[in-house]
Amino acid sequence: MTASHEATAPGGPRPPLVEVARALEDDARLDGAVDALRPLAQALVADDARRDLLLGRQMGHALHPLMTDAPIGAWMSAVVLDLVGGEGSRDAARRLVGIGVLSALPTALTGLAELAHTDRRTARVGAAHAAGNSVALGLFSASWLARRRGHHTKGVSLGLAGAAAVTVSGFLGAHLAIARNVGSRDAAFAESLPPDQRFGPDAPADAVVA
C-alpha cells in the first residue's frame, strides 16, 4: 500500500487551520509579545553551557520536543483518569496534574531558548504558542489546587479546560517544528537548516546560535 501526498492546488482553498497559522504569522499585534520574549530567549542562550543544555547539543537535536512529552503526557493521563478512572483514581490524577505542572517549567525554558533564532513571522506564532501554554499551565495549576482542597469536580473542569488549551497550543508547536522547521540540531543533520541553527564540529564558523 502506498501513501499519497497531494498539495493544495494553486489558487485552491487552504485548509482552515493553515489559514489560522498564516494569520498568526502575519499578525503584527503579536510583535509586542515577541519583543518582550526575545531578550529573555537571547539571554538564555548567551552562556555556552546553558545554551548547549537547553538546545540539546549532547543529543544532537532540539531538547524541547522531547521535554513536552512530560507535561502533556501527565496532564492527558490525568484527564483520562478523571473521565474513566472512577473515585479511586482521584489521588493518582491529582499527582499527575502536579507532575505536569512541575515538568512544564523546564520544558518552557527549552522552548524559549529555541525562540532566540526565529524570524519575526515565526516568532509571532511562538509567542501565541507560549501564551497558550501559559494558559494551560495556569488552568492545570488551579486544577491541582482545587483537587488538593477537596473540590474534585472543579478540579476536573479546570483540567478539561487546560487540556483544551494545551491541544490548541500543541497545534501551534507542531506548526513551528514541522511547517517552519524550528529546532536546533547538529550540523551533521542540518542540511535543511540555516547556518545560525547549527552546532557541532561541522557547523559554519559564523554560526552563533545553537
Q: What is the pLDDT of residue 4?
A: 41
Q: E-strand spans in 84-209?
A: 185-186, 198-199
For residues 111 and 40, what is the distance between their CA atoms, to the nearest angstrom?
12
Q: What is the pLDDT of residue 189?
A: 79
Helix (H) / strand (E) containing 18: helix 16-26
For residues 168 and 170, what is the distance between their CA atoms, to the nearest angstrom?
5
Q: What is the pLDDT of residue 157?
A: 98
Q: What digits encode the pLDDT tens for the residues 96-122?
A: 999 999 999 999 999 999 998 899 999
Q: Environment class of residue 28 by beta-carbon count within 10 Å: exposed (0-12), middle (13-18) or buried (19+)?
A: exposed
For residues 60 and 20, what is the distance between their CA atoms, to the nearest angstrom?
32
For residues 206 and 196, what is the distance between their CA atoms, to the nearest angstrom?
8
Ranges of the chain whose pLDDT falls below 50: 1-7, 206-210
